[in-house]
Structure 1
Amino acid sequence: MAVFWAAARVIVGFVFLWSFLDKLFGLGFSATAGWLDGRSPTSGFLQHGASNGPGVFFRDLTGGGGGWLDWVFMITMAAVGLGLVLGIMTRLAALGGIVWMGLFYLSTYAPTDNPVVDIHVVVVLVLVGIMLSGAGRAYGLGRWWESRWTSGRAPWLLGG
């Protein structure tokens, strides 16, 4: 099981890391222009489902993207991705990923593919499994990280 959860951790981590890189540089996958080119990395998810439901809240949050939310988005995408890929602060990174997946789900509600269970829900379940399995300790830097940084400081959250 350790190999499965380690692989899931790295794969989901790369999803977040790729989102960061694509939105930073505009690599042409989900973002045609990058943050470095002056495009707001949050404009897509803020505008996607903004015509009704909870999506309206996200559109109105910053007036369509930009500002402080871009910084929060980019920093946390990089932190979640690196934490999961490297296996450090895995529980905290997974918790951050769960929060973002929940926000993405709400911003696009109701999903067009399946109004109950879409990919965001599946990723949340995988992230919960990563949190509960200690996936950062297997094939990651989790054991090293715990021995250096968590001695008495919330090992349940920062650990692998």
Structure 2
Amino acid sequence: MSTSHIHRANHLEHVEAPGSMLTTTAARALAVLRYATGFVFLWAFVDKTFGLGYATPSAKAWINGGSPTKGFLSSVEVGPLQGFFHDIAGTWYANWLFMLGLLGIGVALTAGIGLRVAAVSGTVMMAMMWLAEWPIAKGSTNPVMDYHLIYAIVLVVLAAAYAGHTWGLGRRWAKLSIVQRNRWLI
């Protein structure tokens, strides 16, 4: 074996395996992404609850008797689940599941805890919203990939990268005995 081959082999022993190292800058960037994404979910919850006038007028606020799901789901015009979405539009359980999902995902992301649960529940929520909008049939600028799917991917990346450990409570959360016994809660 030549000296250059030996040098290359020794060098490879010290190379980090893919995914085994996250730079401080990358960890901080993921923390900022986590906070920003968490704020998106929390803002939607607050605006729909109190009708701050951005996406939800005060008269249609949840606390004023409005439905957080009726307008969006009853206006579904295309897609294979159109009838299903019309059937659940405005129901108490759809409203509560949607609002608890927004709140839970938002709190988990901003606190940096339960990111696996947030990733799974948020991905389900985003997939359902993608199906409701059904960009394939709308003549969208991109009939497959839209912001719902981007959010779902972001949630998975944040959970996979343990993004709650930087500027969040992820490390403390992971040490709790209930989390140690139920690793899916990380």
| TM-score, normalised with respect to structure 1 | 0.89
Alignment of 1:112-151 (within 5 A): 112-148=140-176, 149-151=178-180
- Structure 1, unmatched stretches of 5+, are none
Q: Tell me the distance in 1 between the aligned counterparts of 2:171 and 2:87.
A: 39
Runs (4+) of structure 1 exceeding 3 A deviation are none
The answer to whether the 8 Å contact 1:59/1:65 transfers is: no
The answer to whether the 8 Å contact 2:45/2:99 transfers is: yes
The DSSP-based 3-state class of the residue aligned with 1:116 is coil
The answer to whether the 8 Å contact 1:12/1:84 transfers is: yes
Structure 1 residue 60, shift from structure 2 partner: 2.8
- Structure 2, unmatched stretches of 5+, are 1-25
* Deviations, residues 41-92 of structure 1 (Å, cap 9, x unaligned): 01233124x2221351343332x31311111111111001000011111111
Higher normalized contact order (CA 8 Å, seq sep 6+, divided by chain length):
1
Identify the match of residue 112 of structure 2 among 76, 87, 108: 87
| TM-score, normalised with respect to structure 2 | 0.77
Identity %: 37
Equivalent pairs, count? 155
For 1:21, the aligned partner's letter is V
CA 1:113–1:28 in structure 2 vs 1: closer, same or farther (change >3 Å)?
farther
CA 1:54–1:22 in structure 2 vs 1: closer, same or farther (change >3 Å)?
farther
Q: Match for residue 86 of structure 2?
A: 60
Is the counterpart of residue 37 in structure 1 residue 99 in structure 2? no
The answer to whether the 8 Å contact 2:41/2:102 transfers is: yes
Over aligned residues, Cα RMSD in angstroms? 1.5
